[in-house]
Structure 1
Amino acid sequence: MIEKQPAIPHQYQKKSSRFRTFIACSVTAGLVIISGLFLRNRDDSQQTDISTVLNQIRSGNVSTAKLIDAERRIEITTIGKKHFHSYWSEVGDQGSELADELQKARLPNGYSVEVPKR
């Protein structure tokens, strides 16, 4: 003989289903947000030495550049859409030399300088 088991009331099944749907949606939204933040903040530029950056500027291969004074960093984008960055040393006045080279080069999309506020 087959025994019949009492059925779970329908109202409890709906609450359980809604709760599972809420948890699944929350987890999915969280994963999308986290992965978006990782992709947004990635640095896809290649680090190179300062002489390579200067050679790129002098040869006319640079489309745009940014000097970041606080970090002693220069970021360039070549005509071929490749991104490079380099750091200059604290010794000497390489930041001014880089700015002079960028001025002479007359980049197609220009360059910018970020100076920290004091």
Structure 2
Amino acid sequence: MPYEIGAKVKLTGDVQVTPDDPAGRSGLPGPLFLSEGLGGIVTGVAQEAGGPAQDHLASFDQQVRGGHLDAFAASLVEDLRQKLIGAVGAGTGVGTRFTYKVRFENGFVLGGLEEARLASA
């Protein structure tokens, strides 16, 4: 069930805010998480295409992107991509999903939170 702007929500699990990469932290402690149960108010809602099907396709594209393939290999990869679209598209989860921007009690504002990460407060 989508949340309306102004709805009170809480996190259903810890959410990582900063990357794991120690090189990006330059000796600073990290990564930073927002903890399960932290409450906040929905300040924005975005509707995105895809759901799990889009996630699988994006993962496939990322794995084969940047490779220099000859024409035959490129056609094989495209065939695999089309089969993935067909297999994943035939199942549930195709369509739209909602992501939320939430202002938390501690002052953090986090966008792109999927509905599964939130519960009514």
| Larger Rg over CA atoms | 1
TM-score by structure 1 length?
0.25
Higher helix fraction: Structure 1 or Structure 2?
A: 1
TM-score by structure 2 length?
0.25
Highest relative contact order (Cα 8 Å, sep 6+), 1 or 2? Answer: 2
Higher strand fraction: Structure 1 or Structure 2?
A: 2
